Structure formats: C-alpha cells, structure tokens
C-alpha cells in the first residue's frame, strides 16, 4: 500500500487557477447628481476608473447598501464557480479506477484543501473590498462634516449681532 502511495505522491497536483475577478459596475442614476453647491457633477468626477463603488457624499444609504449587495453577490458567484470546478475535479478523480482507497482519499483531501483555500481567499478579498469601501465612506463623511462645520462657523461670523434697544 505504501508503494502505491509513493507512486501516486510523485504526481504533482496542480492548483486550479484563481477565479477571474469580475468587474462590478453600477448604473448611474438617470438624473444628474449635484454637489453641495447644487452644481451637476458626474459620478466619475472623483473616480478615474469610471465605475464607482465608493459612497458619494450625496449618496443615500440604500444606494450604498445596493453597491455592497452587488459586491457580495459577485463573491458568492466566484465561490460557487470554485465549488463547481472542484466538484468536477473530484468526480474525475473518484471515477478513475484506483487500486487503493487510501490514494483516492488522499486525492480527495488535497482537492478539499484547495477548495477551502480558494473559498477563504475569495471571502478575504470580498471583506477587504467592503472594509475599503466603508473606510472611504467614513473619510468622505468626515470631510463633508468638516466642510459643513466650517460653513456654519462662517455663517455665524457673518450674521450681525442683535442690537439691544434701550
């Protein structure tokens, strides 16, 4: 039995190529977006790559949640594809006649390890993207808050003090 395992261990198991990253694009609203001053701006103004998955200052929570939903769904599709591919590889290995159940078990274990690694990698990648988006949203909201506070201070300074009539 060890000789069969030794013969089979000489064959390298090549890991599957990583799932292709899907490009996620979200359709812009049909009405033009406006900045704080009311000037129409395009979504691409702050993003040279063209598609925006970062929450804009004027973007609603629902729109941002929709973006996150799209990212998560893309991750689910990538995981599903990895599972399907691994399942096909496992079926090929288990359908080939093998003289030892230990070799078949070992091959299945290797495939399961590859699958777990790929699933973990996709999950980590998706979580990193979500964290990046949330950090960007926090930064934008902080910048907007600072601008609004500055505008409020300016407005308070420009407002005349009330006169007390005697």
* Top mean-pLDDT range of 81-90, 91-100, 128-137: 128-137
Judge whether 69 lies within some domain.
Answer: yes
Distances (CA, A) of 3 to 6, 7, 63, 100, 156: 5, 6, 61, 10, 87
Residue 86 is assigned to a structural domain of this protein: yes
128 falls within a domain: yes
pTM strictly above 0.85: no
The answer to the question of residue 88 being in a domain is yes
Assess whether pLDDT exceeds 80 at residue 6. no
Number of Cβ within a 10 Å radius of residue 13 = 15
Element (H, E) at 34: strand 33-34
Alpha helices in the chain (DSSP H): 2-9, 61-95, 101-158
Residue 39 forms part of a structural domain: no
Rounded to an integer, what distance in angstroms lies between the CA atom of residue 122 and that of residue 19?
A: 8
In a domain, 36, yes or no: no
Task: Identify the three-state secondary structure at position 95.
Answer: helix
pLDDT top residue among 119 and 16? 119
The total of structural domains in the chain comes to: 1
For residue 128, give its domain range. Answer: 56-159
**Domain presence at residue 125:** yes
Q: Is residue 65 situated within a structural domain?
A: yes
**Is the pLDDT reported for residue 141 higher than 70?**
yes
Look at 22 and 53; give whichever has higher pLDDT: 53
Q: What are the tokens at 67?
A: 């973006």
CB 24 within 8 A of CB 53: yes
């Amino acid at each position: 039995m060890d000789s069969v395992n030794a013969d089979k261990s000489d064959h390298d198991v090549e890991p599957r190529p990583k799932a292709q990253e899907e490009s996620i694009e979200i359709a812009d609203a049909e009405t033009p977006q406006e900045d704080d001053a009311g000037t129409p701006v395009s979504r691409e103004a702050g993003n040279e790559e063209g598609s925006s998955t970062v929450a804009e200052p004027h973007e609603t929570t629902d729109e941002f949640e929709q973006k996150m939903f799209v990212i998560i769904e893309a991750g689910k599709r990538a995981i599903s594809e990895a599972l399907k591919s691994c399942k096909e590889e496992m079926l090929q290995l288990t359908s080939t006649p093998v003289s030892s159940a230990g070799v078949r078990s070992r091959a299945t274990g290797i495939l399961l390890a590859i699958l777990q690694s790929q699933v973990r990698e996709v999950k980590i990648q998706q979580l990193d993207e979500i964290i990046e988006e949330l950090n960007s949203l926090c930064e934008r909201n902080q910048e907007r808050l600072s601008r609004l506070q500055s505008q409020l201070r300016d407005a308070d300074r420009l407002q005349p003090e009330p006169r007390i009539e005697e």
